[in-house]
Chains A and B, each alone.
Chain A
């Protein structure tokens, strides 16, 4: 692994109001990876994605994007960097006062220099990619949760980003749509050389997508490597997570978590 990483989380520490969430996370994301991040609910996975985007600043360690230190960038440089990263939010985060077309057009209108007719074409193209053609004039409130998710995915792809962060892309989707999204994520890296980071709880789709996996547990990465390594992991926590058993170190530590 002499390749330079696209993103490097270097001993990242983050605490919310004194409560540590990330505790020295060390993770490298390489170009064209499809990195799946596993971890418990409330374990800090969404927080990690926010750190990569520079929305949260680490209290220790640093995050590098290529050679740039994310937390030290000026505002305009940071905005430029963010426009090269697509983010699919866990709860979609579509602008509720804009219809689907305007939501998708937003990043291009604000940051690009395309004409309105080109934008319209692009909107149609990206909506077709996520199987949502014909919904251009709907408001987000008229869509189901899963449909919103897909629109949000289309929005993240509008500027043809080099890195896409997916926060639970297939949560709330039916199995067929979930496979469609998985397929889309795989195509994205294979056809356009995009790198993706996917946070997910669904082990089937995790193993279908991943070229690499990382497991976040109690604030740090406890295992990182190929999907096969995860299937045959000796680490009790990883094994419990992958097989979804009730008995194991994760459930034993639950009462502990309540006390703190």
Chain B
């Protein structure tokens, strides 16, 4: 049997042709996308089932636990990353803008960039690495140990029990953390502008407030929530579909982080292209 397979190996060179590979990857991507949408719909359906029976979709305490680790636990890291990123951005753009004597534009530049763009993006990347990985590893380990099946066998929908609280927690956490990120970035850039460019904090925050539009804030908010959904779905999907024991859990966790970060950046670019098209 094994030798048969080896014999036919060179007879199918097409398998490694470029076209074949593109087709294969595209098909794979579409299948995965379909499965992730399936996961979302089925989670919603299981929750609705419970509501129809007059019960909460999941126990509030499960949501508190997930929110605590997802949101509260991520605050320090998001603050730190954003603070230094804001600081660096102000520093670098400051040197450039100083040449033209327009360094007073820094506050509005940072404010708009972070509320619309970098806040949700940085938060998304941090949460994909910190929380998405944890979701995948946990659910993957449970899957491997037959725990997910046992939950299913008891008649408890595993999607509403395991996936729903995690999804709700991360979708709720993203906008809040994104706000934290913006604030930290503004503080970081304000401090460095004060030290290196002599922009006083009072002026800095004045021009932040006058340059921000409600639109930017709303867009940033929705983007963050959407990224949360994407990260949560990818992480849970990867976890529940683990195959191959401990090594499989490791592979799924790596895959989950890579795919989630790529998707967040991809959706962000798509979003920007569309939004700038229609809001000019």
Contact = CB atoms under 8 A, between A and B. Distances in A.
Interface in B14-60: 45-46, 49, 52-53, 59
Secondary structure class of chain B's binding surface, majority of residues: helix
Interface string B241-262: 0000000000000000000000
B150 A93 contact: yes
Interface residues of A, number: 27
A111 B155 contact: yes
Contacts of B68: none
Nearest to B42: A75
Contacts of A53: 153
B142 A110 contact: no
Nearest to B54: A113
A209 B187 CA distance: 73
User: Which of A87, A110, A111 has the most chain B CB within a 10 Å cutoff?
Assistant: A110
Nearest to B157: A79
Contacts of A50: 149
Interface string A80-95: 1111110101010111
Given A75-B45, A109-B59, A110-B161, A93 B155 contact: no
A237 interface: no
A107 interface: yes
A243 interface: no
Given A75-B46, A75-B49, A76-B49, A83 B147 contact: no
Contacts of B153: 53, 55, 82, 85, 87
B146 interface: yes
Contact of B154 (A75, A76, A83, A96): A83
B55 to A, nearest CB: 8
Contacts of A107: 154-156
B206 interface: no
Given A85-B153, A111-B154, 12 more contacts: A55-B152, A75-B45, A76-B49, A76-B53, A79-B155, A82-B153, A93-B145, A93-B146, A93-B149, A95-B151, A106-B154, A107-B155
Interchain residue pairs A-B with the least CB separation, the first 10: A83-B155, A82-B155, A93-B150, A79-B155, A93-B146, A110-B156, A76-B49, A87-B153, A107-B154, A53-B153
